[in-house]
Amino acid sequence: MSHATTNGAKAATAKRANPLGGLLTWADDRTGLAAVSKKQIRKVFPDHWSFMLGEIALWSFVVLLLTGTFLTLWFKPSMAEVVYDGSYDQLRGLHMSEAYASTLDISFDIRGGLLMRQMHHWSAMLFIAAMFVHMMRVFFTGAFRKPRELNYLIGLLLLLLGVIEGFAGYSLPDDLLSGTGLRIADGLVKATPVLGTYMSFFMFGGEFPGDVIIPRLYIVHVLLIPGILLALIGLHMLLLVYQKHTQWPGPGRTNNNVVGYPMLPVYAAKAGGFFFIVFGVTALMGGLLSINPVWRYGPYNPAEVTAGSQPDWYMGFAEGLLRIMPGWETHIFGFTISWNVMLPGQIIPVMFLAAMLAYPFIEAWITGDKREHHLLQRPRNAPTRTAFLVSLMTAYGMLWMAGGNDLLAVIFNLNLNYITYFMRVMVFVAPVVAFIVTRRWCISLQRQDEARLLHGYETGVIMRSPEGAYAEKHLPISGDEAYTLTARDRDPLLPAPTAADENGVAARHVRLHRLRARLSRAWFAHNVQKPTTTELEEARHHAEHELAVRDDGHQHVSGDYTGDYELDGHAADGHQFDGRHGVSGEELRQH
Amino acid sequence: MSHDEIARRDGDHAEEPIVNPGMHEHQPRPTDIDDVAGRRAERQVATFFGLSSVMAILFCVAYFTFDIGDEPDLFLGYGASNIFLGLTLGLALLFIGIGAIQWARKLMSDVEISEARHPSRSSDEDRDIALSALNQGIADSAIGRRPLIRNSLLGALGALGLPAIVALRDLGPLPGTALEQTVWRKGMRVVNDVSGTPIKAEQMEIGQLVNAEPGIFFAVDEEGEPVVEGVELQQEKAKAAVILVKMRPEDITPYPNRENWGVEGVLCYSKICTHVGCPISLWEQQTHHLLCPCHQSTFDLADNGKVIFGPAARALPQLPLMVDDEGYLVAQSDFPEPVGPSYWERG
């Protein structure tokens, strides 16, 4: 742009035509932004509803930052004892911590304070729930495969940090329920072998509850973890932009391109608009749905607890683990090992996380696949993977229910002890059943896809032969659908290596390869592979024969009919009602 | 199987049984070809944005109109301020979102664009340049040839970990024996946890449970100040809270050394669960079972506080009782064992 060198009328017109030009030039002169952004401004993103789940998490995080900042303007992270003299009648005159008193002030004496508190809590729930569902979407569709393994790991880390951040925030108001949560956390920490009591004393600045845990959790909650979250979200987004989003296969959509709409203007409007929708829905929830009414619980008192104490939902599975664990404890050489707390509180949750973290690498090793994958897989086309996550989800769900065993007992009028015994068994049995059922279900769906490809779709047109035999007419599916169904990889089955193919030194490798071959069979052997070109050819030939119309206008009877009779009159070709052509003169019955 | 073989296998499968039909031709929307439809969509979008402004103004009106605090204006039983602030803010935001998305769907170009992907990896050339630059840098530093520098630097960086850990030492005191003791002492009265009044065994009825605390929590010094207060009170409460229960003496089956720990069927147990430390308080009168509301550990108070259900591993610690000169219940001593959740050094 050279408008700076003239002051003529023409240059002035040019300026009016692009008022942004001057500003952009000024910025680019100093930062070179144009080179970085030239490809990003019209960057293409594919469209699918399931790609929106991560977006909910992203925008909820922004809502959390905004509402959280509002709350910090009044919240006092202090455990100093004060006498409450605010607006809430029932608690006036009571001794409580400044943290609890200021939470009451935000709820009752700051206009909009309760709204912001409830929005903050609701968006925290949305944030974690959306991350969970987003992670499931990524897992089920194989979006974690190369080159996106790193982003998957970052995502799991975000989920873990989100849960810790949620727990820290839940503890801050210092009400009876959050104090009970902290006390349970203290019990979990104390169960650590050797270091437990030291960790507890260092956390709480002495004996539980002490007077430092709230200010310490506060700085963790408002600075430390949000800072890490923000950095990791930034990295997550950067990798997404660099690697480009995955897409579903379809006509024109391959592993080598990305088809969709440009960032500016379509996604700027859609994603930007969606931010306002997430924010708006959160505001409606904050205004209309009560959450965590801490004024009802009262200030924290280590000698009190309420019946039906429940953590926030995302802690429910850990709560369930704690509840169904039998009371095992070992006393040895004058020391105590609390398996009843250590296993459910420390070891098993880490094992869940480790299984999720390790899965992409295990699968990649079993397939031996080193290619980049940008096309998503339908869950049915990866039956073992789908079944694996469903079984983990089932275990999670069982534990979640176990975390509410007291509520289940009350609501359904059941024996609490029996529910607990039942859950102790189901937490092992249900995931296995879920695994088997899901896997077979997926394989059945694959068979259905195969049948559609080879034999076409069911028209709903029933043909009767003169002998009275009935058969339903099938017609080929559209080319688009056929392509989409076949746009997937065949599953590799690694052959077992022969032991003699290497010179002695490689014996260990042979065993490793043999394990891999066995796993490969277990993983993929039952899957239905897409038909080959030859199979499709044969099926098409067969179908054409069936649909062929004889010279006299009569049609062969479809199905297995081999009799001598021909259909009387004009047969339906099955296209009457699928919109491929009009229906006039195509009445099914002529006499 | 070598990588080559895998590559070949993948090559075999690259052949697609059905040819890619390619992207569909763009189908124009009504708003693309019909001016009336386009103007209608424009009006719709503008209406949403306009409604959003109205809601923003109504938010301000609601903010100044409705009272909060002691006697808030009620609407459907809820504070009107919160409801109307939430409604107006929520709708103001939602309308912007809906308007923007309607705009994108109806009026912005919906021509699909196909963009080529590139491998995530850098080119071999770039890799070579980066690698040789890295090697050059390392070689120039001579770190490989002068191991003394490298090792002493690594040692120094490692040693920096010590200050980092040591500086956190004052996060809290060492545990010492703090967890093994409570404020209970011989002769300390067992008092009601709300009123602070001492309790006599005959005042309690069979099956009754009383939440109690050590008398010192309600004691005041000569200036009228509480003896135990603030953090210390919270910490001691977390260990010393107890429950008193009265059962028929014939129902109670004490261990041989505990036969004189009760007074007329009144026994005193720690209120702190031995699982992870919740205060226990759900009492089943008929079965003398005590249930923890957090994780449902159940203890039989007639049978020395034994665990009969749930994740707790140890019986509830029992506080030996006796009566003082005036006939009130007092402790014979502190708890004979640490109360609350297990920990490594507990033994």
Annotate A277-294 with b (16+ C-beta within 10 A) or e (fewer).
bbbbbbbbbbbeeeebeb
Do A469 and A561 contact (CB within 8 A), yes or no? Answer: yes
- For A52-354, which CATH class? mainly alpha
pLDDT per residue as tens digits for the range B238-262: 999 999 999 999 999 999 999 999 9
Q: How many domains does chain B have?
A: 2
Choose the mutation target among A277, A324, A330 for the interface with B, i.e. most B CBs under 10 Å. Answer: A277
Asked if B294 lies within 8 A of A180 by C-beta distance, the reply is yes
Q: Do B277 and A208 touch (CB under 8 A)?
A: yes
Per-residue confidence (pLDDT) for residue A501, from 0 to 100 = 53
Cross-chain Cβ contact B344/A331 below 8 Å: no
Q: Is A79 on the interface with B (CB under 8 A)?
A: yes
- Per-residue pLDDT, B48: 98
Determine the 3-state secondary structure of A247 from DSSP: strand
The distance of Cα A211 from the centroid of its chain, to the nearest Å, equals: 38
Chain-centroid distance of CA B36 in Å reads 56
Give strand pairing partners of B309: B298
Task: List the single residue in B with minimal CA-CA distance to A191.
Answer: B343
Instruction: Please report, to the nearest 10 degrees, the dihedral formed by the alpha carbons of residues A187, A192, A197, A199 taken in order.
Output: -100
Q: CB distance A325–B3 less than 8 Å?
A: no
Residue B84 lies in a domain: yes
Mark yes or no for CB contact B342/A191 under 8 Å. yes
Asked if B104 lies within 8 A of A273 by C-beta distance, the reply is: yes
What DSSP designation does A263 have? I
Of B51, B74, B106, which marks where a domain is finished? B106
State the sign of the Cα–Cα–Cα–Cα dihedral B284, B287, B289, B293.
Answer: negative
Search chain B and give the residue with CA nearest A78. B231
Q: Which of residues 299-328 of A touch B (CB under 8 A)?
A: 300-309, 319, 322-328
Please say whether the beta carbons of B182 and B319 come within 8 A: no
Contact between residue A422 and residue A394 where contact means Cβ atoms under 8 Å apart: no
Measured CA to CA in angstroms, residue A198 lies from A61, A192, A203, B74 at distances of 34, 10, 8, 50
Q: Name the phi and psi angles at A289, rounded to 5.
A: -115, 120
Nearest neighbour of A303 by CB, restricted to B84, B279, B345: B279
Report whether pLDDT(B37) > 50: yes
Q: Which two three-digit tokens encode residue B26?
A: 């763009």
Q: Which of A485, A42, A537 is nearest to A251 (CA)?
A: A485
For residue A459, the model assigns a pLDDT of 82
Given a contact cutoff of 8 angstroms between Cβ atoms, the answer to whether A193 and A342 are in contact is: yes
* B258–chain A nearest CA distance, Å: 23
Structural tokens at position A433: 């059943």
Q: Are residues B90 and B221 in the same domain?
A: no
The answer to whether residues A547 and A564 touch, using CB atoms and an 8 Å cutoff, is no
Contact A201 B175 (CB under 8 A): yes
Q: How far is CA A538 from the centre of its chain?
A: 41
Of chain A residues 455-494, which have a CB less than 8 A from chain B? Answer: 479-480, 482-483, 486-487, 489-490, 492, 494
Instruction: Determine the Cα–Cα distance for residues B342 and B273; give it in Å rounded to an integer.
Output: 10
Query: What range does the domain containing B91 cover?
Result: 25-106
Instruction: Compute CA A156 distance to the chain's CA centroid, rounded to the nearest angstrom.
Output: 10
* Amino acid residing at B286: Q
- Six-digit token pair at A406? 């007291």
Whether A530 and A482 have beta carbons less than 8 Å apart is answered as: no
| Contact at CB, B82 and A490, closer than 8 angstroms | no
The answer to whether A1 contacts chain B (CB < 8 Å) is no
Sign, CA torsion A54/A60/A62/A65: negative
Helix (H, G, I), strand (E, B) or coil at A462: strand
Name the residue type at position A586: E
CB atoms within 10 A of CB B129: 12
The span from the CA of A424 to the CA of A439, in Å, is 24
| Residue B196 pLDDT class (50, 70, 90 cuts) | very high
Query: Does residue B167 lie in a domain region?
Result: no
Contact A44 B113 (CB under 8 A): yes
Domain-located, residue B168:
no
Length of chain A in terms of residues written: 591
Q: Measured between alpha carbons, how far is B112 from A266 in angstroms, rounded to an integer?
A: 11
Q: How far is CA B158 from CA B143, B154, B165, in A?
A: 17, 6, 12
φ, ψ for residue B242, nearest 5 deg: -135, 170
Amino acid at A68: G
Q: For residue A303, give the DSSP letter.
A: T
Please give the single-letter amino acid code of residue A4: A
Q: Is residue B188 part of a domain?
A: yes
Is the preceding peptide bond at B279 cis, omega within 30 degrees of 0? no
What is the ipTM for the molecules in this complex?
Answer: 0.91
Query: To 10 degrees, what angle do helices A348-367 and A316-324 make?
Result: 110
- Give the model's pLDDT for residue A505: 54
Cα separation, B102 vs B231, whole angstroms: 57
Region label for A244, one of left (φ > 0), alpha (ψ between -120 and 50) or beta (otherwise): left
Beta carbons of B97 and A277 less than 8 angstroms apart: yes
How far apart, in whole angstroms, are the C-alpha atoms of residue A142 and residue A148? Answer: 10
> Is-contact A449 A249, C-beta < 8 A?
no
List phi, psi (to 5°) of A381. Answer: -85, 0
Per-residue pLDDT of chain A (591 residues; tens, 9 = 90+): 333 333 444 444 444 556 788 888 999 999 998 998 888 999 999 999 999 999 999 999 999 999 999 999 999 999 999 999 999 999 999 999 999 999 999 999 999 999 999 999 999 999 999 999 999 999 999 999 999 999 999 999 999 999 999 999 999 999 999 999 999 999 999 999 999 999 999 999 999 999 999 999 999 999 999 999 999 999 999 999 999 999 999 999 999 999 999 999 999 999 999 999 999 999 999 999 999 999 999 999 999 887 777 888 999 999 999 999 999 999 999 899 999 999 999 999 999 999 999 999 999 999 988 899 999 999 999 999 999 999 999 999 999 999 999 899 999 999 999 999 999 999 999 999 999 999 999 999 999 999 999 988 888 888 777 778 888 888 888 889 999 999 998 888 888 776 655 555 555 678 888 899 999 999 999 999 999 888 888 888 877 766 655 444 445 554 444 555 444 444 455 555 555 555 555 555 444
What CATH number did the domain enclosing B301 receive? 2.102.10.10
Interface A–B counts its CB contacts (< 8 A) at 367
CA angle B312, B314, B319 (to 5 degrees): 120
DSSP B222-286: TTS-BSS-HHHHHHHHHHH-EEEEE--GGG----GGGTTSSBTTEEEEESB-TTT-PBP-EEETT
Q: Is residue B206 part of a domain?
A: yes
Residue whose pair of structure tokens reads 């922004």 in the numeric block: A62
Q: What pLDDT score does A569 carry?
A: 43
Is the Cβ pair B347, A531 closer than 8 Å? no
pLDDT of residue A16: 57
Question: If you compute the radius of gyration of chain A from its CA atoms, what whole number of angstroms results?
Answer: 32
At which residue do the structure tokens 């089955």 appear? A493
Question: Which long-range CB contacts under 8 A does B119-127 form with residues at least 24 apart?
Answer: B119/A372, B120/A147, B120/A242, B120/A243, B120/A372
Within-domain flag for B145: no
Distance CA A462, CA A474 (A): 10
Domain-located, residue B238: yes
Q: Which of B70, B86, B345 sits opposite A197 (nearest CB)?
A: B345
What is the CB neighbour count within 10 angstroms for residue B268? Answer: 26
Is residue B68, in this structure, part of any structural domain at all? yes
Distance CA A69, CA A67 (A): 5
Q: Are A156 and A138 in contact (CB under 8 A)?
A: no
Contact by Cβ (8 Å): B288, B245: yes
Q: Kindly compute the dihedral angle of the four CA atoms of residues A99, A103, A109, A111, in this order, to the nearest 10 degrees.
A: 130
Residues of B in contact with A243 (CB under 8 A): 120
- Element housing A315 (H / E): none
Phi, psi of A566, rounded to the nearest 5 degrees: -110, 160
Which positions 325-384 of A are in contact with B (Cβ < 8 Å)? 325-329, 331, 334-338, 340-341, 344-345, 368-372, 374
Considering the domain architecture, whether residues B211 and B302 belong to the same structural domain is answered as yes
What is the rounded distance in angstroms from the CA atom of residue B292 to the CA atom of residue B309? 10
Contacts of B4 in chain A (CB under 8 A): none
Task: Give the tokens for residue A477.
Answer: 């599916």
For chain B, first and last CA: distance in Å?
A: 55
B96 vs chain A: nearest CA distance in angstroms? 6
Pairing of strands A44-45, A95-97: unpaired
DSSP string, A108-171: HTSTTHHHHHHHHHHHHHHHHHHHHHHHHHHHHTTTTSTT-HHHHHHHHHHHHHHHHHHHHHHH
